[in-house]
Chains A and B, each alone.
Chain A
């Protein structure tokens, strides 16, 4: 098995032990798989279904329901711009437009060099610091065009995590 390896199984058993029913660990285990490879491959879903003794359809239903699961490899940096009401009022559409033009991609696409994936996402729960963008696991707040440009430069030069 390429995804559900021996090493993964050891970790998985610990996670399963948090719940009285093993299948409750489905989402945390998918998160672990995504952490390893940056996305959840069809094969990974199949292997996880066997590991948890679940029908493949259950795993796929979960993966396609939740927005944080990538079904294709994402770029090294996943730029997720909040576009909900508070960020919208604070200039999110302008940030998105700038990213589209600077990176030459639109939402849902990845740059050819595999460095950046761009997404527009819904409320990130940081509205007091709007506009907000999440890059992988980190939040970048109170963004404006110059901060955004500086951030992109840092990322291009491999400076991540930026807050250390």
Chain B
């Protein structure tokens, strides 16, 4: 099928407009906000950042009678290891995001919005600034959009290096000029978000899908995909495949199809060992579990993992699972914001246990301790970062226990591993 998001020749305003761009905005501005929200609800569009929350429902939580300003925030703090789709989308089709934001702004009654983009994405931030300036010059953004009396000002805000700011309330704290430490919920951002005002936060990919939904209808979008997982998804594939990259495919495509048809299969001589299907925080699947699994919200949940951000990390037999989990534990320990004890201490504890096992000084008891520490982190913190560490920890040990045991017995890595630590 044709791509909705990753299209050619739409990187600049002229090309985007020539391909029918900003027609959806005009259509949306002639609709009532409630009608726009209904159309998005009908489409079944769900959050593409990782949580998969229905977008239209999120928008409808903004209290209609709340006085004062409302805000729309785009989460472009792409940082979940394995994920690189929003970067590509911003470079290839920035106006779909801007148009989607202007439509969403109209739907929730927000006159201003911010795109919070991770600090490392310098070229991408410049691309967005230029796209905003071009759209404003044509009257698609700013004051009195297309002469309708609707205002929507859009600003780019660059992050400064903190994975945690991808969590929506940490992002709001950061946007307000504080350390990025997540807030307790409730109150939810829809009631009290940015600058204590009602706020909607959506991922880049979610917002960029909105123009097509408005233009072609929620029913059209809902017909794509698999059951309750509607529409297309950007899958980011990394690891030893022939053609790693971002692929837009209908939700429900099998891993096998993605690997063989889109990515040209595994590199020569590599054998599939495991797949992390939705970014480093999602539970790992064995090759057998992954092979025919459908990549959508429900199917991956049924398989014991998650669609997450759509970051498919392919792992071959040359890799040591203990080492990879050690890499992840170091990451989560580094990125824990330090507010909640189970996360702050738990991530560090797991990293130490894995350092010990990986260096050949660990014991069998350490393996059980990893699981018990991880289980005690789950669901006991303000935000899901602790779970994001615990889910890979538990699944790596459960599914590849023999490798952990081999380490505890002093044999470091699987026999065909390329490096001896």
Seen from chain A, the residues whose Cβ lies within 8 Å of a Cβ on chain B are 18, 20-21, 23-28, 30-31, 58, 61-62, 65-69, 83-86, 88-90, 93, 122-130, 134, 137-139
| Distance between Cα atoms of A86 and B80 in the complex (Å) | 11
Least Cβ distance of B165 to chain A in Å?
9
Type the 1/0 row for B309-326, where 1 means its CB is closer than 8 Å to any CB of A. 001010100010001100
Q: B122 an interface residue at 8 Å Cβ cutoff?
A: yes
CB <8 Å contact, A125 and B118: yes
Whether a CB of chain A sits under 8 angstroms from the CB of B397 is no
Residues of B close to A83: CB separation below 8 A: 327
Residues of B with C-beta under 8 A to A127? 81-84, 236, 238, 244, 311, 313
B260 contacts partner chain A, Cβ-Cβ < 8 Å: no
Q: Which B residues from 275 to 296 make CB contacts under 8 A with A?
A: 276, 280
Q: Is the CB of B87 within 8 A of A62?
A: no
Which of A123, A125, A126 gathers the greatest number of chain B CB atoms within 10 Å? A125
Known contacts A20-B69, A66-B161, A128-B236; is-contact A84 B119 (Cβ 8 Å): no
Quick check: B161 and A24 within 8 Å, CB to CB?
A: no
B175 at the interface (CB under 8 A from A): yes
Interface centre among B160, B276, B313, B335 (most CB of A within 10 A): B160
Report chain B residues within 8 Å CB of A67: 160-162
Could you give, for residues 118-129 of chain B, a 1 whenever the CB lies within 8 Å of some chain A CB and a 0 otherwise? Answer: 111111000000
**Interface 9-mer from B15-23, B26-34, B176-184, B218-226:** B176-184
Q: A21-B195, A68-B119, A83-B327 are contacts. A122–B163 as well, Cβ < 8 Å? A: yes
The answer to whether residues A28 and B158 also contact, given A23-B177, A62-B179, A134-B120 and a CB cut-off of 8 A, is yes
Is B305's beta carbon under 8 Å from chain A?
no
Give the Cβ gap from A24 to chain B, nearest Cβ, in Å: 5
B84 / chain A contacts, CB cutoff of 8 Å: 125-129
Using CB atoms, name the residue of chain A closest to B69.
A20
B107 surroundings in chain A (CB, below 8 A): none
B217 at the interface (CB under 8 A from A): no
- Knowing A20-B195, A122-B335, A123-B80 are in contact, say whether A88-B176 is a contact too (CB < 8 A): no
Interface residues of B (CB under 8 A from A): 69, 78-84, 86-87, 118-123, 155, 157-163, 174-180, 195, 236-240, 244-246, 276, 280, 311, 313, 315, 319, 323-324, 327-328, 331, 334-335, 337, 419
Task: Pick the residue among B158, B162, B195, B315 that contacts A89 (CB under 8 A).
Answer: B315
- CA of A85 to CA of B50 in the docked complex: distance in angstroms? 18
* 16 examples of A-B residue contacts, CB within 8 angstroms: A27-B174, A61-B178, A66-B162, A67-B162, A84-B280, A85-B81, A85-B82, A85-B328, A86-B82, A93-B419, A122-B334, A123-B81, A124-B120, A125-B78, A125-B87, A127-B236
A122 near B160 with CB under 8 A, answer no
Partner of B177, one of A24, A68, A129: A24
When A31-B119, A69-B160, A127-B83 are in contact, do A24 and B176 touch as well, CB less than 8 Å? yes
